[in-house]
Chain A
Amino acid sequence: MKNWWKILTVFLLFYTLFMGFLGKAPRLEIVNESIRNLYFHVPMWFGMTLILLVSSIFAIRYLRSRNPTDDLYAVESANVGILFGILGLVTGMLWAQFTWGTFWHGDPKQNASAIGLLIYLAYSVLRSSLKDEQQRATISSVYNIFAYATLIPLLFILPRLTSSMHPGNGGNPGFNSYDLDSNMRLVFYPAVIGWTLLGWWLVTLRVRLRQLTLA
């Protein structure tokens, strides 16, 4: 049955909800219960990174195949990636307000993720400025590849080189040290898979919708 992964998505996300609130979490100062945001805010970013990777892969595929479907998957993956990025950014700002004291204080990862999102928003602008289909697909595919190649150092390398408030960056202990009894891991990994699959579900729906309106 070809929709098994959709059923898995529903199951994983309900699991995340129930275990996310009712499961055990470490008792820590400053974050207190909001440590459970790990199951919601962080998967947005993991999901975004994975879906944008898929987008860049489809961009490469388009450049080799010239098949419009590849370009369609590339752009719709990028769109859902941007959605997840915006949700991750906004939820992160809310979390920051109550744990770090301000919505935005120039944390390197916050800044880097905002820049990353702007790069992908520029991708959308680029696409809408090109009239010819082939030209649009080709130029935006090349941009897509460079965009992802820039996103990775921005999000994962730069914040680690400097002082940052994010766990795992700038001298702070990583997630591993909070979850030594692996209670959070039991929910976190399924959550990442669930939210990412949800994102992919949205991509497939958007692609199908586009194909219907174009046909």
Chain B
Amino acid sequence: MNNILKATCLFILLCVTQLAYAQTEVTRKQPEMADLMRSNGKIYVVVATLAIILAGIFGYLIWIDKKIKG
């Protein structure tokens, strides 16, 4: 009789733990991304900088390509 009582109490207590969720969907934090850079448009500065660098490197490459008779 004692064992059944213990088992029942254990079972009820275990069921109760399922209700103990302190964190909701809203409070769970999303991974940080560059949302600020996007919202204030600064991301375009990064893109433009690298575009200039890439254009410069390609310009140099094409100049060398033309120079070397192939």
Are B31 and A27 in contact, CB atoms less than 8 angstroms apart?
yes
Flag A135-176 by CB within 8 Å of B: 1 or 0 each. Answer: 000000000000000000000000000000000000000000
Are A33 and B34 in contact, CB atoms less than 8 angstroms apart?
yes
**With an 8 A cutoff between CB atoms, is A86 at the interface?**
no
Complex contacts, A209 vs chain B, CB 8 Å = 68
Q: Nearest CB to that of B47 among chain A residues?
A: A21
Interface of B is mostly: helix
**With an 8 A cutoff between CB atoms, is B6 at the interface?**
no
**With an 8 A cutoff between CB atoms, is B10 at the interface?**
no
Complex contacts, B30 vs chain A, CB 8 Å = 27
Interface residues on B, range: 10 to 19
Complex contacts, A18 vs chain B, CB 8 Å = 47, 51
Within the complex, the shortest CB–CB distance from A209 to chain B, in Å, comes to 6
**With an 8 A cutoff between CB atoms, is B16 at the interface?**
no
Binds B, one of A6-14, A55-63, A121-129, A177-185: A6-14
Within the complex, the shortest CB–CB distance from A36 to chain B, in Å, comes to 10
Are A10 and B70 in contact, CB atoms less than 8 angstroms apart?
no
Flag A21-33 by CB within 8 Å of B: 1 or 0 each. Answer: 1100101110011
Interface residues on A, range: 20 to 34
Complex contacts, A10 vs chain B, CB 8 Å = 58
Are B68 and A14 in contact, CB atoms less than 8 angstroms apart?
no
**With an 8 A cutoff between CB atoms, is A204 at the interface?**
yes
**With an 8 A cutoff between CB atoms, is B54 at the interface?**
yes
A6 to B69, CA, bound (A): 16
Flag B28-70 by CB within 8 Å of A: 1 or 0 each. Answer: 0011111000000001001100110010001001101100111
Are A17 and B33 in contact, CB atoms less than 8 angstroms apart?
no
Are B69 and A212 in contact, CB atoms less than 8 angstroms apart?
yes
A-to-B contact residues, CB < 8 Å: 6, 10, 13-14, 17-18, 21-22, 25, 27-29, 32-33, 201, 204-205, 208-209, 212
B-to-A contact residues, CB < 8 Å: 30-34, 43, 46-47, 50-51, 54, 58, 61-62, 64-65, 68-70
17 chain-A/chain-B pairs, Cβ below 8 angstroms: A6-B65, A14-B51, A14-B54, A17-B50, A17-B54, A18-B51, A21-B46, A21-B47, A21-B50, A22-B43, A25-B33, A27-B33, A29-B31, A201-B61, A204-B70, A208-B69, A209-B68
